[in-house]
């Protein structure tokens, strides 16, 4: 059976969706809806249902979630509970603790649901099955997904990792940092992180994706051009169809 997957990429600012074929080809145009974070699980489910009503002809739903989720259960909502950098709405974070998001979505949509971290979904969209491949998502915050020979590795959050004294990766490479320091300086900081990953982990490829990827000054990547790719395509959406493989 040739399934059609509604693929949803949830971000802290907005969620984007499209229907995607088995071969990771867009069937519909991409549509979006404001996420309205911070928000509790039930409100996110309502937003997803509202977005899904803009599409037809799909028989399953693949979702990239902007936080830590294992076996359909959320362990960290990340920016969905965040008021501003480093500060969370404590009540909303409490509501997210061990939230059975996949179960809630199955009940709301009455369809098969596959759910994973958004950077992991993007990694599935990018990977070519070439040994270790690393995908870095560049948006409101920063995320990372890894595959080995085309299969997802255990997820590791990096947005809260301290990159420099008292500076988290989100603060160094997120949208606010880019707007504050300018695209050229932001690009240089990103190139430093890429160089560290290449040296420490020796991946075959690094993919840079997400809404801010096109704003990267590609000249800073010239030393790594054979191993670093910048994707303009919506890999966080396209990879959603592979969650069912």
Q: Are residues 103 and 178 in the same domain?
A: no
Q: Are residues 32 and 107 in the same domain?
A: yes
Q: Are residues 139 and 76 in the same domain?
A: no
Question: What residues make up the domain containing 142?
Answer: 128-232
The count of structural domains within the chain is: 2
Helices within the chain (DSSP H only): 41-52, 90-96, 101-109, 118-126, 169-173, 175-181, 183-201, 235-238
Query: pLDDT tens digits for 96-153?
Result: 999 999 999 999 999 999 999 999 999 999 999 999 999 999 988 888 999 999 999 9
Q: Are residues 11 and 114 in the same domain?
A: yes
Sort strands 132-138 and 205-209 into parallel, antiparallel or unpaired.
Answer: parallel
Q: Are residues 155 and 172 in the same domain?
A: yes
- Going by pLDDT thresholds of 50, 70 and 90, the confidence category of residue 163 is low
Whole-number Å distance between alpha carbons of 167 and 164: 5
Question: Residue 46 in contact with residue 154, Cβ under 8 Å?
Answer: no
Whole-number Å distance between alpha carbons of 63 and 78: 16
Whole-number Å distance between alpha carbons of 241 and 91: 33
Instruction: List the CATH number of the domain containing 173.
Output: 3.30.420.40
User: What is the pLDDT at residue 52?
Assistant: 98
Q: Are residues 97 and 189 in the same domain?
A: no
Q: Are residues 26 and 113 in the same domain?
A: yes
**Token code pair at residue 67:** 């936080």
Q: Are residues 83 and 24 in the same domain?
A: yes
Q: Are residues 86 and 40 in the same domain?
A: yes
Tell whether pTM > 0.85.
yes
Q: Are residues 113 and 212 in the same domain?
A: no
Q: Are residues 111 and 21 in the same domain?
A: yes
Query: pLDDT tens digits for 186-232?
Result: 999 999 989 988 998 999 999 999 999 999 999 999 999 899 999 98
Q: Are residues 115 and 157 in the same domain?
A: no
Sort strands 205-209 and 228-230 into parallel, antiparallel or unpaired.
Answer: parallel
Mean pLDDT, the chain, as a whole number? 92
Sort strands 68-70 and 132-138 into parallel, antiparallel or unpaired.
Answer: unpaired
Query: pLDDT tens digits for 55-104?
Result: 999 999 999 999 999 999 999 998 899 887 668 899 999 999 999 999 99
Averaged over 155-181, what is the pLDDT? Answer: 73
């Amino acid at each position: 059976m040739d399934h059609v997957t509604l693929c949803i990429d949830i971000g802290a600012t907005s969620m984007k969706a499209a229907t995607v074929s088995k071969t990771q080809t867009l069937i519909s145009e991409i549509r979006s809806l404001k996420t309205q974070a911070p928000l509790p699980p039930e409100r996110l489910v309502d937003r997803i249902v509202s977005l899904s009503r803009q599409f037809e002809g799909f028989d399953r739903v693949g979702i990239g979630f902007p936080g830590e989720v294992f076996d359909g259960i959320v362990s960290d909502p990340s920016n969905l509970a965040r008021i501003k950098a480093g500060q969370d709405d404590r009540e909303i974070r409490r509501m997210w603790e061990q939230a059975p998001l996949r179960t809630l979505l199955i009940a709301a949509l009455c369809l098969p649901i596959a759910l994973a971290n958004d950077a992991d979904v993007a990694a599935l969209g990018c990977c070519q099955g070439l040994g270790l491949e690393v995908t870095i998502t560049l948006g409101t915050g920063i995320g990372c997904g890894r595959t080995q020979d085309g299969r997802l590795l255990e997820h590791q959050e990096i947005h809260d990792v301290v990159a420099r004294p008292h500076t988290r990766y989100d603060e160094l490479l997120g949208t606010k940092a880019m707007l504050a320091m300018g695209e050229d300086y932001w690009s240089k900081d990103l190139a430093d992180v890429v160089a560290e990953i290449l040296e420490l982990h020796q991946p075959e490829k690094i993919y840079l994706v997400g809404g801010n990827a096109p704003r990267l000054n590609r000249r800073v990547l010239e030393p790594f051009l054979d191993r670093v790719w910048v994707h303009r395509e919506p890999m966080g959406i396209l990879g959603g169809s592979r969650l069912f493989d």
